[in-house]
Amino acid sequence: MKTFYWKLRKDDENSEIFRQAALLIKRGEVVAFPTETVYGLGADGLSGEAAAKIFAAKGRPADNPLILHIADRKDMDFLAVELNNNARILMEKFWPGPLTLVVRKASVIPDEVTAGLDTVAVRMPSHPLAVGFIKACGCPIAAPSANISGRPSPTNGLDVMEDMEGRIAAVLDGGSSGIGIESTVVDTTAPVPVILRPGGITAEMLTEVLGAVEIDPALRGDENLIPKSPGMKYRHYAPKASMYLLEGEAGEELFRLIMGAKKNGLTVGVLCSGETAAKLREYENIIISSWGNSCEELAENLFYILRDFDRSKPDVILSMSVEEKGLGLAIMNRLRKAAGYQILVRENNVLLLKNNAKLPEFMVECKK
Ligand code: TXA
Ligand code: MG
């Protein structure tokens, strides 16, 4: 399939291109578009056949439901039933923006979109190009992140092309997406709303308006708990090289681990703050990816950096951690997944892997 590649100005909410993109959507095709979180892979959200094409293009497991994107709060009235007060408060307070609400679904929504669940995830993005595109289509747009299943979500048009060229009808390129990690998903059907996936709207922000919010315990780094959201159980974001996440005191081992890897002839990729990157400057033959100096910058750069490691091809990646509060909760969730839960910790001065797996050879001499 030929994939049209259309470049747009970030603020061009009335672009002529949207008419062409909308024609493709009406024909049941798939079109990728920018949002303020990551790029989405959009199709007509009221057509089961069109939604099926998204699953095919991504290689997505059929049991993982899609998010419906709308441009007007009023659309919630025909997509949801039994909309409760918590859902209404969140729509009012955080839409448009990086928050997805899981609500009881109306019967107009095809089973392909919700993977047979009786709930549906809905979000109203704020990105001007997402808004313009959805309005031109005149229907809710079902869209997962625009990556091949398992890869980091794309945050710019070229990364979408890398995964989707030849698989979908068109890509709308509006430059870098902004926040950089996916929306927060909240189940509003529970008596106390539950965060199913942490994201741009933090637990603290939700607690402030709702009084109380729960966090799915499976998000806290224990890979043995089954997450409540179908998509959260899959391996995700993983770069091709083996990645290790240094948590807590293990962070102090970074320099020794780098030396150990180099001694064993391995090229190391390091994912760390700007401050740490500055200290690594005199090391030769390591690939340093600095995420900057705040969680906002880290979120913005994270998926690009992970994809970039597939281009620079280190043998092993060592990633530093951030504190698990605010945006840090979402970031640590993505980093743990990207590392395939290979989490290094230091207990009683001993370096070990959290899941008790054997330390790789190059780390053993650093064990102490
Ligand atoms: O920021 C975002 O949310 C991006 C942009 C494109 O909007 N979209 C995105 O979609 O990240 P996706 O498909 O990659 O992730 C959607 C997540 C999955 O973990 C899925 O399992 C969950 O939302 N989800 C969707 N419908 C659900 C439902 N009814 N109940 C529970 N979880 C649901
Ligand atoms: Mg995704």
Q: What is the rounded distance in angstroms from the CA atom of residue 268 to the CA atom of residue 221?
A: 24
Q: Is the CB of 79 under 6 A from ligand 1?
A: no
Give the CA angle between residues 75, 73, 34 to the nearest 5°: 95
Ligand with the closest atom to the CA of 61: 1
Task: Tally Cβ neighbours within 10 Å of residue 71.
Answer: 20
* CA-228 nearest atom, ligand 1: 31
C-alpha 1 to ligand 1 mean position (Å): 26
Q: Is the CB of 35 under 6 A from ligand 1?
A: yes
Task: Tally Cβ neighbours within 10 Å of residue 324.
Answer: 17
Q: Is the CB of 65 under 6 A from ligand 1?
A: yes
C-alpha 362 to ligand 2 mean position (Å): 33
Q: What is the rounded distance in angstroms from the CA atom of residue 299 to the CA atom of residue 116?
A: 32
3-state secondary structure of 316: strand
Give me the tens of pLDDT residue by residue for the chain, a chain 368 residues long: 999 999 999 988 888 999 999 999 999 999 999 999 999 999 999 999 999 999 999 999 999 999 999 999 999 999 999 999 999 999 999 999 999 999 999 999 999 999 999 999 999 999 999 999 999 999 999 999 999 999 999 999 999 999 999 999 999 999 999 999 999 999 999 999 999 999 999 999 999 999 999 999 888 767 788 888 888 877 678 889 999 999 999 999 999 999 999 999 999 999 999 999 999 988 888 999 999 999 999 999 999 999 999 999 999 999 999 999 999 999 999 999 999 999 999 999 999 999 888 999 999 865 54
* CA-37 nearest atom, ligand 1: 1
- By alpha-carbon position, which residue is closest to atom 12 of ligand 1? 144
- 220-229: burial string, b at 16+ Cβ within 10 Å, e else: ebebeeebbb
> Taking Cα atoms as reference points, which of 242, 313, 320, 314 lies closest to residue 276?
320
Give the CA angle between residues 99, 101, 105 to the nearest 5°: 155
Q: Is the CB of 230 under 6 A from ligand 1?
A: yes
Rounded to 5 degrees, what are φ and ψ at 197? -145, 120
Q: Is the CB of 183 under 6 A from ligand 1?
A: yes
- By alpha-carbon position, which residue is closest to atom 19 of ligand 1? 231
* Residues with Cβ within 8 Å of residue 308, at least 6 apart in sequence: 289
Which tokens go with 192? 């106390």
Q: Is the CB of 232 under 6 A from ligand 1?
A: yes
> Taking Cα atoms as reference points, which of 145, 163, 329 lies closest to residue 231?
145
- Helix, strand, coil shares of the chain as percentages rounded to 5? 35, 20, 45
